[in-house]
Amino acid sequence: MARNTFTLDGVPLTDSAGRWFPERGTGLRIIPGKRMANISYPGWDGDAFMRGATLTPGGVMVKMYVEGNDHQDFMQNLEFIIGLFMQRHKLLDLVHHYNVAGTANRVAKVKFIAGTAPKMITPTQAIVEFIGEIPDGIWRGDTLITTTVATITNNTVYANVTGFAGSTAPMGDMLIRFEGAFTNVSIGDAGTEDQLFCSVGLTSSEYLLIDTKLWRAEKFSTATWIMGGGTPVELSITSSRGFGPWFMLHPVMDSGILTYRMRTRSTSPSSSPIVEIRNYKEYL
**Whole-angstrom distance, CA of residue 71 vs CA of residue 118:** 14
pLDDT, tens digit, for every residue of 100-150?
Answer: 776 789 999 999 999 999 999 999 999 999 999 999 999 999 999 999 999
Given 140, 173, 196, the domain boundary residue is: 140
pLDDT score for 156: 94
- Arithmetic mean of pLDDT over the chain: 92
CB 84 within 8 A of CB 132: no
Same domain as 134, residue 87: yes
**Whole-angstrom distance, CA of residue 17 vs CA of residue 279:** 36
| Segment among 91-100, 149-158, 197-206, 207-216 with least mean pLDDT | 91-100
pLDDT score for 53: 82
pLDDT score for 1: 36
**Whole-angstrom distance, CA of residue 280 vs CA of residue 284:** 13
CB 259 within 8 A of CB 190: no
Same domain as 184, residue 89: no
Band (pLDDT 50/70/90 cuts) for residue 39 is confident
- The count of structural domains within the chain is 2
Band (pLDDT 50/70/90 cuts) for residue 4 is low
Given 78, 105, 140, the domain boundary residue is: 140
pLDDT at 42 > cutoff 50: yes
Residue range(s) defining the domain that contains residue 186: 145-283
Same domain as 198, residue 133: no
Same domain as 272, residue 187: yes
CB 234 within 8 A of CB 121: no
Same domain as 260, residue 131: no
Q: Residues 6 or more apart from 224 whose CB is under 8 A from it?
A: 207, 209, 230
**Whole-angstrom distance, CA of residue 165 vs CA of residue 148:** 13
Percent pLDDT > 70 in the chain is: 98
CA distance readout (Å), 46 to 9, 38, 63, 95, 151: 47, 9, 42, 42, 43
Half-sphere exposure of 136 (CA within 13 A, CB side): 19
Q: Which of 115, 114, 112 is nearest to 135 (CA)?
A: 112
pLDDT, tens digit, for every residue of 150-174?
Answer: 999 999 999 999 999 889 999 999 9
Same domain as 91, residue 220: no
Q: Which of 283, 284, 262, 282 is nearest to 274 (CA)?
A: 262
Same domain as 164, residue 50: no
CATH of residue 109's domain is 2.40.30.200
CA dihedral 121, 77, 63, 101 (to 10 degrees): -120
Same domain as 174, residue 113: no
Same domain as 267, residue 197: yes
Same domain as 167, residue 119: no
Query: Could you give the 3-state DSSP secondary structure of residue 72?
Result: helix
Q: Residues 6 or more apart from 282 whose CB is under 8 A from it?
A: 138, 139, 140, 141, 164, 167, 168, 169, 170, 171
Given 140, 165, 193, the domain boundary residue is: 140
Q: Is 71 exposed, middle or buried (0-12, 13-18, 19+ CB in 10 A)?
A: exposed
pLDDT at 36 > cutoff 80: no
pLDDT at 3 > cutoff 60: no
pTM (2 decimals)?
0.89
pLDDT, tens digit, for every residue of 47-73?
Answer: 888 777 888 999 999 999 999 999 999
Same domain as 136, residue 149: no
Please state whether 242 falls in left (phi above 0), alpha (psi between -120 and 50) or beta: left
pLDDT at 284 > cutoff 70: yes
Buried b / exposed e across 87-97, counting CB within 10 Å, b at 16+?
Answer: eeeeebebbbb
pLDDT at 43 > cutoff 80: yes
Same domain as 273, residue 249: yes
